[in-house]
Structure formats: structure tokens, C-alpha cells
């Protein structure tokens, strides 16, 4: 049986190719460490993909800003129907409709038992933490495809209680694999509580998800900053204040115009290492967001940092940044006694409660991020449009399940 997938072909290029139907083994292939090849996964399942999303983290690889190998099958935001169950799976059943956390996690190691599933010790021999279709994350095959293998199914998968209801809300539920928990983690780890004033750097999908999450957590004012006017309009569409950073180089002054003071209670970095400076002549400056959120967050405040930072960036403008070493004003953060929360999001800490928010119509995450359905064959164009700054979250429908 064939299995079409979105495959990285080098900087700026992806193609839809047949990568072969999966089985319950992690085979040798692009990005798979030799020490991880051949792992038997009878604790896993095969999913027929219902929806799978294009993520900004994928875009970093496609731009050539990581060490991702050619031939890597992309995609870590996965929702699917179970079509095959491994011998050791006890509770997940064939026919279940499930959300897959983008973190690959065993459920058995010390960190998984502490709910730190983003840094599982057993799924990636190279470093803590695994993910599907992502560079340096264990080589687990990505899910921007027709079918995918998911290991440790009983532990990881979130089964939807009612398939018919789930399909009615699938454009919201598809965000549970990554973007909604990631945005929520950014807001929650920044300490957003009722009445908080919040600055969110970045109006891409993660920033929009963080802004919506801050509203759900009771923020009184959410301010979103970006360079893209179209994306800022999307933030305004669900009640956020905005700052266009191409027009202003003083973020504090813009915040003061909104709040009356030049500081917020807390802030979220939803941009990461491909950050730009502020002002009309600004160029790439990877420490800009971290330094700016320290400058505008009050003393004692918290900084949630779900934006991606890497250990190797071959496309960086200087040798330090190529090794992930940035010019961060850590002295400012120290002087203001800031708390920094970094790293991948432990999706399983959040996805069950966020599911309930969606099913009860309290969360409107698809609307907030402007979820836009495309076919698998249209995925390369989706990557191009996303790279150009489209204010959309592209959701791939490989089998036409949503359209039908």
C-alpha cells in the first residue's frame, strides 16, 4: 500500500512522495540515529491521518536553518484514526479517533513519570526528547502523510470520546497535538492569571494560540507584536491589542500608549531564533525578542518561551549564532528577578483539559489561528504561502476526510 508524505528536499523545497506504508518498527532512514534504527514498537499503532498541520517549526527546517537531512518526512501535528494495533497495546482500539502529542514519550522513564514528556529519556539516544518528523529528535517518521506509526500508544494517545462530535470540531481538535498546548504552555508558564497584562511576541500561529490562551486564563489586556500587518489583523479579530514592530523601535513606548505604563505583568516569546530587530530598517537579530520581553516585563515577572531555539543554525548571520549562542542581556533579567521557562511543551500536561474547553465551546482556537484546510498535494504551496507570511494555520486533509 502506498503512503504519500511531505518530504524535505533541501533548503526551500518540499515534495510529496511515496515513503511506503508504515509498520511497527522504526526503520533505518533519514534522520534516524543508527542506535535508534530497528526499534520494535509492538506498543504502537498505525494511524490513518485525518488531519495534520504545517508548523512554524517545520518552516525553520525547510528554510535550511537547521541540520535536517534531505529525505526527512515532515510533520509532528497529527490527528488520526487507528487502523492497526500492536500486540502490546491494551486500551487504544482499532477505530479510535485520536490526537497525537508531538512529543514522543515512553511513559516509563523518570521524566515521563514526572509529566516531563517533552524530555523523555528513552525515545532518542542522542539527547532527551523526541518528536515526529523533526531534526535531532530520534528519527521518528513524520505525519504529514496518509499513514503514520505512533509508538507507546496506550500512554500517549488522547482518544476523543465521540467520533461524530469530534469530526464536527476537527478543525479545533487538530490543534491539540501541538499548537494549542504550546500556546497555552507559553501563557501558563508566563504566569498569566485573571487581570494580567500580557505581551506576546509574534503573531504567527503559536503567538495567536498563546494570545487566545492568555484570554482563557483571564488576562485583562493581551498585546501582540509582530512585523506582519496581516497577522496583526488576525490577532485583533479576537480582541487583542497590537503593535507593528516595523513602524516602531521602542516597544515600551507602544505598550505605554495602550496601558498607561511601559511594562506588562508577563510576556511570551512565540518567535524564537529567527527573530528580527525592530524598526523600519531592522535585520535579523536572534536575541531581539528575548531582550525586548525582559525590557518590558515588570520586575519579578515571568517569561514563557515556547519559541524555538536551536543548538545549530547553519543559516545564522554570525559564528556564535550558528552554535546557538546569542547576545542575551542576562544581567537585565537577573536584575529584574525574572523567571524564564523554556523548552518544548509537555503536551500531555494540557491536552485533556484543552479538549474539554473545545468540546464545551469555551475555546475557539481554529478561529483564533485562522485554520485553513488544504489537500496533501497542496502542501508544498502551503509551505510557500506560510513562508511568505500568510495569516493562516494550514491544516492538511490527506484523505479528504474533513472535506467529505
Could you tell me which residues come within 8 angstroms of residue 251 by beta carbon, excluding any fewer than 6 positions away? Answer: 199, 225, 243, 245, 278, 292, 295, 296
Cell numbers standing for residue 223: 498585546
Percent of the chain past pLDDT 70, that is, above it, reads 100
At 31 the pLDDT is 96
pLDDT over threshold 90, residue 208: yes
Distance CA 321, CA 326 (A): 6
For CA atoms 142, 179, 400, 237, the dihedral sign is negative
Mean pLDDT for 110-128 is: 97
User: Where exactly are the structural domains of the chain?
Assistant: 4-178+346-396, 182-342
Q: What does DSSP say about strands 266-269 and 197-201: parallel, antiparallel, or unpaired?
A: parallel
pLDDT tens-digit map of 155-205: 999 999 999 999 999 999 999 999 999 999 999 999 999 999 999 999 999
Query: What is the percentage of the chain residues whose pLDDT exceeds 90?
Result: 92
Dihedral pair phi/psi, residue 26, rounded to 5°: -90, 100
**Per CATH, which fold does 182-342 belong to?**
Rossmann fold (3.40.50)
pLDDT tens figures, 57-106: 999 999 999 999 999 999 999 999 999 999 999 999 999 999 999 999 99
Q: pTM score, two decimals? A: 0.96
Is the Cβ–Cβ distance between 285 and 37 less than 8 Å? no
Please indicate whether the domains covering 4-178+346-396 and 182-342 agree at the CATH topology level.
Answer: no
- E-strand ranges in 65-204 read 78-85, 97-100, 103-104, 130-131, 147-150, 158-159, 197-201
Domain at 4-178+346-396, CATH homologous superfamily: Medium-chain alcohol dehydrogenases, catalytic domain (3.90.180.10)
Amino acid at each position: 500500500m502506498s503512503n504519500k508524505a511531505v518530504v524535505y528536499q533541501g533548503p526551500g523545497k518540499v515534495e510529496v512522495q511515496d515513503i511506503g506504508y508504515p509498520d511497527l518498527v522504526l526503520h533505518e532512514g533519514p534522520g534516524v540515529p543508527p542506535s535508534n534504527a530497528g526499534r520494535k514498537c509492538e506498543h504502537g499503532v498505525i494511524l490513518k491521518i485525518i488531519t495534520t498541520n504545517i508548523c512554524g517549526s517545520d518552516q525553520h527546517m525547510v528554510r535550511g536553518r537547521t541540520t535536517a537531512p534531505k529525505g526527512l518526512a515532515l510533520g509532528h501535528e497529527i490527528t488520526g484514526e487507528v487502523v492497526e494495533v500492536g500486540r502490546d497495546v491494551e486500551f487504544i482500539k482499532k477505530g479510535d479517533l485520536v490526537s497525537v502529542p508531538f512529543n514522543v514519550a515512553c511513559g516509563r522513564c523518570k521524566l515521563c513519570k514526572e509529566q516531563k514528556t517533552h524530555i523523555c529519556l528513552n525515545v532518542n539516544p542522542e539527547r532527551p526528547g523526541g518528536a515526529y518528523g523533526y531534526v535531532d529528535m530520534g528519527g521518528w517518521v513524520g505525519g504529514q502523510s496518509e499513514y503514520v506509526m505512533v509508538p507507546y500508544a496506550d500512554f500517549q494517545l488522547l482518544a476523543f470520546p465521540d467520533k461524530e462530535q469530534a469530526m464536527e470540531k476537527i478543525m479545533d481538535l487538530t490543534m491539540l497535538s501541538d499548537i494549542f498546548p504550546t500556546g497555552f504552555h507559553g501563557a501558563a508558564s508566563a504566569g498569566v492569571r485573571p487581570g494580567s497584562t500580557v505581551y506576546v511576541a509574534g503573531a504567527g500561529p503559536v503567538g495567536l494560540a498563546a494570545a487566545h490562551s492568555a484570554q482563557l486564563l483571564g488576562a485583562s489586556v493581551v498585546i501582540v507584536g509582530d512585523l506582519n500587518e496581516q497577522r496583526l489583523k488576525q490577532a485583533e479579530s479576537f480582541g487583542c491589542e497590537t503593535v507593528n514592530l516595523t513602524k516602531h523601535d521602542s516597544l515600551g513606548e507602544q505598550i505605554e500608549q495602550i496601558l498607561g505604563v511601559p511594562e506588562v505583568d508577563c510576556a511570551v516569546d512565540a518567535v524564537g531564533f529567527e527573530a528580527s530587530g525592530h524598526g523600519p530598517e531592522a535585520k535579523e537579530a536572534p536575541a531581539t525578542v528575548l531582550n525586548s520581553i525582559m525590557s518590558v516585563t515588570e520586575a519579578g515577572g515571568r517569561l514563557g518561551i515556547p519559541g524555538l531555539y536551536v543548538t545549530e543554525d547553519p543559516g545564522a548571520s554570525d559564528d556564535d549564532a550558528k552554535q546557538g549562542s546569542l547576545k542575551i542581556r542576562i544581567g537585565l533579567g537577573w536584575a529584574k528577578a525574572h523567571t524564564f521557562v523554556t523548552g518544548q511543551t509537555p503536551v500531555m500536561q494540557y491536552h485533556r483539559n484543552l479538549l474539554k474547553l473545545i468540546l464545551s465551546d469555551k475555546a475557539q482556537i481554529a478561529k483564533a489561528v485562522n485554520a485553513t484546510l488544504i489537500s496533501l498535494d497542496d502542501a508544498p504551496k502551503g509551505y510557500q504561502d506560510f513562508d511568505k507570511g500568510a495569516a493562516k494555520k494550514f491544516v492538511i486533509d490527506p484523505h479528504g476526510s474533513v472535506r467529505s
